[in-house]
């Protein structure tokens, strides 16, 4: 389902160390991306299925006043969280190419603790500049690794990611609530740092961005007439202590992903 060469290249390692991220072109086949989009669409169209899976569906605030067709509720959805126990998403999250790559950056035993499908339909807001570790009050605090799979192409027009190379060396900055009135759930932004040297990350379906949780990144609004979808997972070391509940209701769900040098097979939600 995915590429099988997981040892980091010299260039990937250098980019990770010096810039805080690397991109893997053609990591997953188009069929994997299409299966994810089809499955998450089924989930948001079926509230009973969404409840059974225990996912969290978040509305797109910038389309709050728009008419959304009853048979296309996904047009009004921003993100769907907690998908990583569903087989379509778990198969990817636990696959050897993914967990072996992430293990090179964290250590041999890792858990996947967060997943989100981002619809980014036409008119949807981008996510302002932030560091993912702002959301992760963990012990140890790092390393935490995000993997961002392009489900569709990501372009300057449809709201690709932008990253600030080398910002993974920054501490976690103060984040203020997204200043747009009625901003999307969970959107906070960094306003005390110069982002002038940022770079867009243009992606084709199946490309993967692997990034450090201190890397400053954002995405722009979708100004195109097509969807810009992505599936994002986060991983940390097994045994990490998660203090999120002490600050806000958690959407984290810790699942062993790799032990003893091997992927841990996906576990059903009731396990
Ligand atoms: O894909 C996007 O639009 C934003 C995603 C993002 O910033 C994140 O996953 O932390």
As a whole number of angstroms, the distance between CA 217 and CA 226 comes to 22
Q: Is the distance from CB of 92 to CB of 201 less than 8 angstroms?
A: no
CA of residue 127 to ligand 1 center, whole Å? 6
As a whole number of angstroms, the distance between CA 82 and CA 104 comes to 24
Q: Give rounded-to-5 percent helix, strand, coil for the chain.
A: 25, 25, 50
Q: Is the distance from CB of 28 to CB of 36 less than 8 angstroms?
A: no
- Residue of 161, 214, 224, 228 best suited for mutating to test ligand 1, as the one with most atoms within 8 Å of CB: 161
Read off the pTM. Answer: 0.95
Q: Is the distance from CB of 21 to CB of 210 less than 8 angstroms?
A: yes
Q: Is the distance from CB of 207 to CB of 27 less than 8 angstroms?
A: yes
Q: What is the pLDDT along the chain (271 residues), one digit of tens a residue?
A: 455 556 899 999 999 999 999 999 999 999 999 999 999 999 999 999 999 999 999 988 888 888 888 899 998 999 999 999 999 999 999 999 999 999 999 999 999 999 999 999 999 999 999 999 999 999 999 999 999 999 999 999 999 999 999 999 999 999 999 888 888 878 899 999 999 999 999 999 999 999 999 999 999 999 999 999 999 999 999 999 999 999 989 999 999 999 999 999 998 665 4
CA of residue 240 to ligand 1 center, whole Å? 23
Q: Ligand 1 within 6 A of 213 CB?
A: no
- Residue of 61, 136, 148, 187 best suited for mutating to test ligand 1, as the one with most atoms within 8 Å of CB: 148
Helix (H) or strand (E) holding 106: helix 96-106
Atom of ligand 1 nearest to the CA of 120: 3
Residue 167: left if φ>0, alpha if ψ -120 to 50, beta else—which one?
Answer: alpha
Helix (H) or strand (E) holding 199: strand 199-201
pLDDT of residue 271: 44
How far from the centroid of its chain's Cα atoms is residue 20's Cα?
Answer: 16
Helix (H) or strand (E) holding 230: strand 230-237
Name beta bridge partners: 189. Answer: 176
Atom of ligand 1 nearest to the CA of 148: 9
């Amino acid at each position: 389902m995915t590429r099988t060469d997981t040892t980091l290249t010299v260039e990937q390692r250098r980019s990770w160390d010096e810039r805080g991220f690397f991109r893997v072109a053609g990591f997953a086949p188009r069929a994997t991306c299409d299966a994810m989009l089809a499955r998450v669409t089924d989930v948001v169209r079926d509230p009973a299925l969404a409840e059974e899976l225990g996912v969290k569906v978040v509305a797109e605030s910038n389309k709050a006043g728009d008419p959304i067709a009853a048979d296309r509720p996904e047009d009004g959805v921003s993100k769907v969280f907690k998908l990583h126990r569903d087989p379509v998403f778990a198969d990817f999250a636990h696959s050897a190419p993914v967990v072996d790559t992430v293990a090179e950056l964290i250590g041999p035993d890792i858990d996947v603790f967060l997943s989100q499908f981002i619809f980014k339909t036409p008119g949807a807001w981008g996510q302002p500049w932030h560091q993912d570790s702002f959301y992760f009050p963990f012990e140890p605090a790092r390393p935490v690794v995000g993997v961002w799979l392009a489900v569709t192409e990501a372009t300057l027009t449809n709201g690709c990611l932008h990253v600030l190379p080398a910002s993974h060396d920054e501490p976690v900055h103060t984040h203020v609530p997204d200043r747009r009135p009625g901003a999307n759930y969970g959107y906070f932004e960094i306003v005390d740092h110069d982002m002038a040297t940022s770079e867009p990350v243009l992606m084709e379906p199946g490309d993967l961005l692997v990034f450090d949780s201190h890397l400053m990144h954002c995405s722009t609004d979708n100004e195109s007439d097509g969807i810009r979808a992505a599936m994002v997972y986060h991983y940390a070391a097994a045994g990490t202590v998660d203090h999120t509940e002490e600050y806000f209701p958690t959407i984290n769900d810790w699942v062993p992903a790799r032990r003893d040098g091997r992927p841990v097979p996906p576990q059903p939600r009731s396990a």
